[in-house]
Structure 1
Amino acid sequence: MNKSLPFILLICISAISVKAFEELHKTNRQRLMNQVTDGVILIPSTKDLNNWGSDKNFLYLAGFNASGCILALIPNGDKNVILFINDNAKRSIPKDCSLETQPLSKLADFLKNWTKIYLPINRINEINDLLGSINIFKDIENISNITPTIYNQRLGKSEEEVELIENAIKITGTALTEAFKQCKTGSTELDIFALTEYQAAKKQVKTSFSQTASGPNSTNVHFGHSERAMKSKETIVFDLGVYYKNYTSDISRTFPVDGKFTKEQKQIYSVVLKAQKVGISLMNPNASYDNAEKKVTDELIKGLFELGLMTDSTSMWQKEFYIQHGFSHGIGLDVHDIYSYFKNQPNKKFIMGMVYTMEPGLYFPEDMIKSIPERLKGKVTEEEFNLFTQKIGANYKKYINIGVRIEDDILITKEGNRNLSIVIPKEIEDIEKIIQ
């Protein structure tokens, strides 16, 4: 049996007990404290968790988020953890919270016992504002930034974190396979979007990201959904993630409306799928992240050149003409988990325990060959661009309004990697079987 077809596995969600969930965050806190031999660690709660890239460190260590909280971790104290809270926090912290709490007003006196503090440097003003604009750190001699230490710890997921992500992936898979079956002429993107939201709600979870884009909309990388009715012989790009106990999935699949890929859609889909498989094969411990991205790009360019869509496979601007986004990012507490921090590191390498996506895509909007795209201005002359479009124009028109993206969530293991979303169909024949 094809590995992408046992859909029954998608609904087998492993139960996570309250105690196990508490132990996960207790372990997260202890791992952090083991890296600090003196002083106290302060972690403020996050104002708005709904924004991508918002600080999830409090959530990672406490297991919940509530406004008006500061978590104090004392590596060598009799009490390892104290949660300082204001009146607003009292109403929003979980009823089953087992952490010792003290009024936020006592934090200033508490800090008089310490000469060294570890905290997120970029949030000092936010902490002071929370305390009524009092600079409680003015007499502290030694303040260190704890953020890089937490981020490095969060890069490698524990077995318990991976289990939570896998549960999110299973729910996502169920929602997607139900949506696939409804990809019919006349259905609207909104209809399908609502179906995926319903499937998530049935499991009492929320979506972290949702894209349902058909036809010309499928060529817009960041499109969400609309009331547009889908037409026969179009592709529809799904990009969906759900939060399960704070941890998210992020899966993309491309399906043909009415269940049958056209010849041209198969050609583009095959190029993207082959590139994705190349990328996944390179996601191994200590392997170069940048090399994986380069090899994926090379595979896409090779396919485009063979289809007559490029005149020079070494041209940087022609590569940028087609390659509109990166291919890999972390997932965890965020859809793009601590992405900027890792992305800016020199000599980036995959490490054991990482859960990273692999998501190449190709998009063919109708107007992309009419004039120089904004992202290429200054990189190519009008004369060069016009000559390029004259040579590839006839071939490009075959693929107008086709968008394809394929995304899986990959765990880096000691032996190599494991595709956590392998059961969600992506082979052409499997996709066509589902819809038909």
Structure 2
Amino acid sequence: MSSELIKECTKRRQILRERMLPNSIAVIPAANMVTRSNDTEFPFRQDSDFHYLSGFPEADAYLVISNSPLMGDVFSALFCLPKDELAEIWQGRRIGAEAAPADYEVDIAHPLDDILVGLTSYLNGHENLYFARGHHGPSDALMDEVLANLRNAPKQSKIAPSCEFDIRLLLHEMRLFKSDFEISIMRQAAEISCDAHIAAMKYSEVGKNEFHLEATIHHHFAMHGAKSPAYSTIVGSGDNGCILHYTENNCELQDNNLVLIDAGAELQGYAADITRTFPVNGRFSEPQKALYQLVLDAQLASFAMFKPGSTFKAASDKAIEVLTRGLIELGLLSGDLEDNIEQQNYRQFFMHGLGHWLGLDVHDVGNYKVAGADREFEPGMVMTVEPGLYVSETAEVDPKWKGIGIRIEDNIVITEDGYEVLTDKVPKTIADIENLMAN
């Protein structure tokens, strides 16, 4: 784990301590291993909140953060799996409680076996508990036992916290704003993902399968240090591109079809999220060109609204206006522009939102409204911008439009005076896509 990440985590813990009420303690659990089948597990992925505050990579751990003088010089404590020679032969090396304080800049660490007694001692006397109840079942049961121990021991002068707060209200607000360090990692994740999309475009040809393109992308991720995709990769050709979360990826690539790829690498926990749509054979048909250009025009028009003080709604309204006007001009909708927008007739072809927050989770945390109003963009926010049009084979339109699914998705960060596109390396104009695939 990089020393820069550990220093970031230390700063984050200090910010969290300052934002908690006085005499407060927070408990944050790590993720657990998840059974895949019988005695095998899925590849481990750390809980995003735990990773954000600790950088500690192992399962079955707990982080404790306090701002109370009750703790003396201990402001952060870690409970983790102990060193175990036999277990490490089978399952890999453990960090252990002895090495964790120096390696991860926590004040003290304990073996996980001490968690019940240790948490009971740490929570004693704190007025406020910050905890994400309902997020992690085993820790809910543990905290209930700890609190019961404290409440049932008044003769030992033990006092349970009188108030419990959802730590996510503080923590997810912090995570919404990315530091320069986080943005640098997301740039790297974006670059790896961009190159993977380019490789898939080059590899595409009639007769290959959707899973060939998926494999090309995953191979590129892994060969460049991103061992896992950030989410299940979508490779939808033809009418499959009209299924928003299509993941079967097992159909042959047909001539004259488009293929929609939604894929992003995960690097050091941070996600990229890119979608490109291109012709299997390298050349757009005229109907495909018309709808594709309309989606691209909508995205580019919406970009102007991504700046401090603007909102997702303002950007979405701009994209919807462009899409609806274009659908009327092409004959997929009829009638007045304002009426079509008011009646949301466009939703039969564009049924999802324009974008979402991006970070440690691909659909990252953070409120979209504040006090009932649309949240204004601020520097450091990272998000996707992904207009689309989906005309399925069952749509009641001219047959030339059927089976065309298009989405164009980029990742942007809000800056002091506008935005920066992190994913513009992947071609997305019709000419650039056709030139890349021809060469």
- Specify if TM > 0.5: yes
Aligned residue for 2:281, secondary structure, equals helix
Determine the C-alpha separation between the residues in 1 that align with 2:198 and 2:331.
34
Deviation for aligned residue 1:41: 1.8
**2:53 aligned partner:** 61
SS of the residue corresponding to residue 377 of structure 2 reads coil
Which stretch of the first structure deviates more once superposed, 81-90 or 236-245? 81-90
Q: How does 1:87-126 map onto structure 2 within 5 Å?
A: 94=95, 97=100, 98=103, 99=106, 100-102=108-110, 103-105=114-116, 106-123=118-135, 126=138
Contact 1:41/1:74, CA 8 A, preserved across alignment: yes
Distance in 1 between residues matched to 2:412 and 2:324, nearest whole Å: 23
**Deviation of 1:346 (Å):** 3.1
The equivalences for 1:5-154 within 5 A come to 18-36=2-20, 37-47=22-32, 56-76=48-68, 77-85=72-80, 94=95, 97=100, 98=103, 99=106, 100-102=108-110, 103-105=114-116, 106-123=118-135, 126-130=138-142, 133-136=145-148, 138=151, 139-154=160-175
C-alpha distance in 2 between matches for 1:93 and 1:342: 39
After TM superposition, list the pairs within 5 Å mapping 1:304-383 onto structure 2. 304-312=327-335, 313=337, 314-315=339-340, 316-338=343-365, 341-342=367-368, 346-369=373-396
Aligned to 1:398: 400
Tell me, yes or no, if structure 1 residue 413 matches structure 2 residue 415. yes
Q: What is the root-mean-square deviation of aligned Cα atoms in Å? A: 2.7
315-324 vs 272-281, greater mean Cα deviation = 315-324
Task: Note the C-alpha offset of 1:367.
Answer: 1.1
> How far apart are 1:86 and its partner, in Å?
5.4
- Please tell me the residue identity of whatever aligns with 2:429: E
Q: Secondary structure at the match of 1:41?
A: strand
Q: Which runs of 4+ in 1 moved over 6 A?
A: 48-51, 88-92
Change (3 A) 1:159 1:93: farther
Relative contact order, CA 8 A, sep 6+: which one is greater?
A: 1
Cα distance between partner residues in 2 of 1:171 and 1:256: 22
Alpha-carbon distance in structure 2 between the residues aligned to 1:111 and 1:72: 10
- State the distance in 2 between where 1:337 and 1:399 align: 34
Given that residues 355 and 412 in structure 1 are in contact (C-alpha distance below 8 angstroms), is that contact kept between their aligned partners in structure 2?
Answer: yes
Structure 2 residue runs without a partner (length 5+): 35-41, 152-159
Q: Which residue of 2 aligns with 1:3?
A: none
Indicate the SS of the match to 2:376: coil
Check 1:113–1:123 CA distance in 2 against 1; reply closer, same or farther (3 A cut). farther
State the TM-score, normalizing by the size of structure 1.
Answer: 0.83
Using the alignment, how far apart are the partners of 2:9 and 2:191 within structure 1?
A: 23
Q: How far apart, CA to CA, are the structure 2 residues paired with 1:190 and 1:26? A: 42
Shift of the 403–104 alpha-carbon distance from structure 1 to 2, 3 Å rule, reads same
Q: Which amino acid aligns with 1:68?
A: D
Q: What is the CA–CA distance in structure 2 between the aligned matches of 1:225 and 1:107, rounded to whole Å?
A: 45
Q: CA deviation at 1:261?
A: 0.9
CA apart distance, 1:87: 5.7
Contact in 1 for aligned 2:379/2:416 (Cα 8 Å): yes
8 Å contact 1:84–1:107 — kept in the other structure?
no
Amino acid across the alignment from 2:376 = K
Q: Does the 8 Å CA contact 1:116/1:143 hold for their aligned counterparts?
A: yes
User: Which residues of structure 1 form unaligned runs of 5+?
Assistant: 1-16, 370-392
Q: CA deviation at 1:296?
A: 1.1
Identity of matched residues, %:
27
Displacement of 1:88 after TM fit?
Answer: 10
Q: Is the 8 A contact 1:128 1:134 kept in 2?
A: no
Matched AA of 2:385: M
Q: CA deviation at 1:85?
A: 3.3
Counterpart Cα distance in 2 of 1:334 and 1:94: 25
What is the identity, as a one-letter code, of the residue corresponding to 2:356?
H
Distance in 2 between residues matched to 1:55 and 1:367, nearest whole Å: 41
